[in-house]
Amino acid sequence: MKKTSRGNIGGQHGANRTLVVGGVYGAVTLEHHIEEEENEMFANAAKLMSEDQLQELGKQMEEKKNSLKKAA
């Protein structure tokens, strides 16, 4: 299993995290980190963006997701 150095991941203030890459544990750790970042990002977006902007962003994200699935 490969491990990155400890550091401030994702701009979280005062939080040291170790991101482990490889194997099932690495996938679970990475998925958990992504979920945390998404929750924070979406909460901030909801505060800062209008409903129209959020709808447009959602559309763009869905299009990107679909294009990445096709490329895989």
Q: What is the pLDDT of residue 21?
A: 58
**pLDDT score for 33:** 83
Kindly report the pTM of this predicted structure. 0.49
**Residues 21 and 5 sit within 8 Å (Cβ to Cβ):** no
**17-56 confidence digits (pLDDT tens):** 555 556 666 667 778 888 888 889 889 999 999 999 999 9
Tokens of 60: 């763009």
**20-21/2-3 β-pairing:** antiparallel
DSSP 67: H
pLDDT (mean) for 61-66? 93
